[in-house]
A and B are shown apart, each in its own frame.
Chain A
Amino acid sequence: MKHLILTTALLLSAPAAFACEAVTVGDLTIQHAWSKATIGADRPAAFYVGITNSGSSDDALVGISTPAAGMSMLHETVVTDGVASMPHAMRVPVPAGQTVQLAPGGYHGMLMVLTAALKEGDRFPVTLTFEKAGEVTTDVDVLPLRSEGPDCADAGQ
């Protein structure tokens, strides 16, 4: 029930995104890359994306980079006994046959030392580095602060 409400809320609150198209590298499909708008350029941004591995061998996301930020790394938000922290993630596993979401409250790309504030409607490129599949670059949509993800007809949220 809770999930139904959450899903409904996601569908209702997700604004129309203009880039729902996917990019692929090897057996990996990268889709729904987005960030929330930032309040100024002095605070870090979070980067979210969905990665589907349609192959038969496991892979892992091991790094991200973007000209939009001076330093980018992978983090995982962890809530333990009600206390949230976000340790670095050395790698985000992308097991064979599965879809992994970098999403609010979980794995995210942490974009630090932004070159400019991210404004709703902006797009910027992020290059993802995978252990096996190598590098691939995707465009990222900047969505409103209240967004919970892009509104794609095929959204794999």
Chain B
Amino acid sequence: MRLRTLQIILWTAAILGTAIFAWARWPAGNPAATETFSVFEPSFALADSDGKIRTNAEFRGKFLLVFFGFTNCPDVCPTTLAEVAQVMDNLGPEADKVQPIFISVDPERDRRLGLRAYTEAFHASILGLAGTEAETRAAAQSFKIFYGRQNDAKSPDGYTMSHSSGLFLVGPDGAWLRQFGFGTPAADILSDLQSRF
């Protein structure tokens, strides 16, 4: 009888643990992704700072850490890119398993202001991409993320951008894995990545 009680407790703990694990991996704060959660492969075809088109296909075999932002963003974007830089440093020799990518949601202005100088200021490994409006729209849709432009007379050039602030993880097989919400400490991102190698 004692043994049976113990078994029940252990099974309950195991089921609960699995449920918590599943819940933690569930995409949060992204209604579109939550509704249709299933295996999906985000895709993009966007120019890098040399004007060369880069696609998701060329990164097969690597984990992708993808962030959508704009270089005129002084608060959210530097905070996240600094975390990414810290993660890349702390990965040490395993850094070559991960490709961090910054996709501009303000591509025209970012190309003019200089995309490479921006990403390199954080970490040399970060690849900056800035496509056309249509290409950017398509990339955002495939990641199921949102961005928009707000006209604002008091902002530089008369507008500012809002954008999904998560950091998205794509697996070596190209499948979307999870997002890290804004403000996730670099240490948490690092340990998540290391648990997948």
Contacts and interface: CB of A to CB of B under 8 A. Distances in A.
Interface stretch (A55-63, A69-77, A127-135): A69-77
Contact of A112 (B78, B122, B156, B185): B156
Interface string B148-185: 00100011100010111110000000000001011101
B43 interface: no
A77 B163 CA distance: 12
Please name the 8 residue pairs, one residue from A and one from B, whose CB atoms are nearest each other, closest first. Answer: A82-B29, A84-B165, A85-B162, A46-B74, A146-B82, A104-B79, A39-B121, A84-B76
Contacts of B82: 145-148
A75 B165 contact: no
A112 B155 contact: yes
B179 to A, nearest CB: 8
A47 to B, nearest CB: 9
Interface stretch (B11-19, B95-103, B110-118, B129-137): B110-118
A72 B86 CA distance: 30
Interface of A: 2, 5-6, 9, 13, 36, 38-40, 42-46, 71, 73, 75, 77, 79, 81-86, 88, 104-105, 108, 110-113, 145-148
A43 B74 contact: yes
Interface string B72-111: 1111101100100110000000000000000000000000
B183 A105 contact: yes
A5 B74 contact: no
Nearest to A144: B82
Contact of A105 (B114, B156, B182, B188): B182
Contacts of B121: 39, 145
Query: Which of the four size classes fits the interface of chain B?
Result: 35 or more
A2 B30 CA distance: 21
B187 interface: yes
Contacts of A86: 73, 75-76, 160
Contacts of B162: 83-85
Contacts of A13: 86
B164 A82 contact: yes
A110 B185 contact: no
A79 B182 contact: yes
A46 B79 CA distance: 11
Contacts of A145: 78, 82, 121-122
B181 A82 contact: yes
B105 to A, nearest CB: 11
B185 A39 contact: no
A111 to B, nearest CB: 8
Given A113-B156, A146-B82, A45 B74 contact: yes
Contacts of B114: 40
Contacts of B51: none
B61 interface: no
Contact of B146 (A83, A110, A112): A83
B191 to A, nearest CB: 10
B74 A42 contact: no
B76 A2 contact: no
Contacts of B146: 82-83
B28 interface: yes
